[in-house]
Structure 1
Amino acid sequence: MRSELYRGMFLSVTNDTSNKVTDYSELSNKSFQILEYWIYSNQIKNEIEITQEIIDEIQVGIDYFQLNQTNPNLFD
């Protein structure tokens, strides 16, 4: 599940036309989930910290996708 989310996020960012991904829905959904977590956990964060959390999550997705490209069977 998580790997598919990351793949969708990366394809959305790169607009990979081979998979006909043309929107940022996965990226937006993940960003919303991060915001929702901080709101409901009552851990007040400023906008810089929240933005960094989103960036970190995107980077994990990009790293996963790049690893998967170099070794497609790694996560099977």
Structure 2
Amino acid sequence: MRSELYRGMFLSVTEDKSNKVTDYSELSDESFQIFEYWIYSNQIKDEIQITQQIIDELKIGIDYFQLNQTNPNLLDLLIKRFNNQI
């Protein structure tokens, strides 16, 4: 609900009968799992190993999912965790 894109989807009373699937293949499974968990819980799972590849993917994905306004900032938290892993 922190994303305008998802807020609109959740609050919409219309029904999509087209059964279309949005393909966002720029994200690896690990990156998408981070987004999915973040959207619903505003947290990053402890067991996820943050890599430079994930950070690079999420920089692009944050704009797509309209998550750049979240507080705390997802990208800042990922970079902080990445730096603490090294």
TM-score by length of structure 1 reads 0.29
The structure where helix makes up a greater share of residues is 1
TM-score by length of structure 2 reads 0.27
